[in-house]
Amino acid sequence: NGTPYAHLQNFFGQDYNNARIHDFANVNDYEDTLIDRRTTPRMPWHDVHMAMIGQPARDVARHFIQRWNFIKSSKGMAKTHMPFLMPKGEYSAARNDLQYRGTCRTQLLRSSAEWSMGISKESSIHTAYCEMIRDAKHFIYIENQFFVSNAREDAGYTIKNRIAEALVDRIKRAHRRQEKFFVVVVIPLMPAFEGDVNAVGAATLKLVMHWQYQSICRGDHSIASQLDKAGINMEDYIRFYGLRNYDVIRRFSDNVKQDVAALAGNAPKEAPGFDNMLHKQGVPAIERTEAENVVSGSAPPCADVAREADSASIAAANGVANGSVASTGDMARGPPSTSIATPSLSFHEPQPDYGFKRPD
């Protein structure tokens, strides 16, 4: 039973993980294996990281201090070993950082609110995201863990963020002007919550998938519905992908292996794929295209279902000269903190505000 190499361990203990089957638990006992190596494959995952120096790093530190002091005052006054933090004075570099100067401008934005940081609601990440979409020239590439949004203005709707509406507006403009424009959205096949999707207790997984379908193709608030009303074929301008393969360990008995190998040998050598589709649509491969704006953060732009501003989070962004717009996140395996990233932006009039105002 199991694979013939199940006893060989490149990933020890909880490093051998499959969040779809069982999420991390009691991580202090890191040597424990939570899933059956003989029948369950390890699901690879990675986080995307980014380092900053100079003034942007100072902004990150100030955000951390503000968040720390808020939690200290509300929940940790009795913990004397956890002092309040005081931000340092005027920034003075201990070394000459000019030698590390890059080729892009960087701006930090954040999503904060009264309940998370004790300040007025700030949704500058959402505002900048919508503006990036509006100003996109040739393509938009979004890679993230969830895609939950609202494609039309409706104050009474459960979903408050209107990133999908910004996408619809940009696609309508491209269609009206006969521009070559395309949007690629890459999300997991299913959200990384443990449990079988058919199980009674898989409420969180089903809830996220429900709102994702409502955002993409089901109901009047979906992207598909709004584009269809405008007489636009959705697949001409936007497509959604899930980069996950599925198989069953030792699904076939040994006596049919030869037949399977023969069938595989007759398979097309170049099946239609993600990169081929982009070229068919006239869109250059993302990794070979310079982007004007790159969004890099650790959580989805569209993960917040009920709140207009999510928990305290920050975002870092780079504006690169020339090319098109690419907005990218990471494919972290677990429930996110709430941060996405946005570039240095100029705000022009007239423009839709999608229900969120730029902070002063």
Domain ranges of the chain: 11-44, 105-246+254-327
d(CA 307, CA 318): 27
* Per-residue pLDDT tens over the stretch 62-119: 899 999 999 998 888 888 888 899 887 766 666 666 676 677 778 888 888 888 888 8
d(CA 105, CA 331): 25
351: left (phi over 0), alpha (psi -120 to 50) or beta: beta
C-alpha angle 108-121-341 in degrees, rounded to nearest 5: 25
More confident residue, 114 or 212: 212
Q: Is the predicted pLDDT of residue 150 greater than 50, yes or no?
A: yes
Query: Which one of 32-41, 55-64, 232-241 scores highest in mean pLDDT?
Result: 232-241
How far CA 1 is from CA of 13, 39, 82, 253, 268, in Å, comes to 21, 8, 52, 11, 32
- Indicate the DSSP class of residue 157: S
Q: Is the predicted pLDDT of residue 290 greater than 70, yes or no?
A: no
Poorest-pLDDT segment among 148-152, 253-257, 275-279, 321-325? 321-325
213: left (phi over 0), alpha (psi -120 to 50) or beta: alpha
Residues for the chain: how many in total? 360
Share of the chain above pLDDT 70, in %: 62
In the three-class reduction of DSSP (H, G, I as helix; E, B as strand; rest coil), residue 122 is classed as strand
d(CA 219, CA 222): 6
* Per-residue pLDDT tens over the stretch 158-209: 898 899 999 999 999 999 999 999 999 998 888 877 777 787 878 888 899 9
With a CB cutoff of 8 Å and minimum separation 6, the contacts of 184 are 139, 140, 141, 142, 238, 239, 241, 278, 283, 286
pLDDT of residue 286: 43
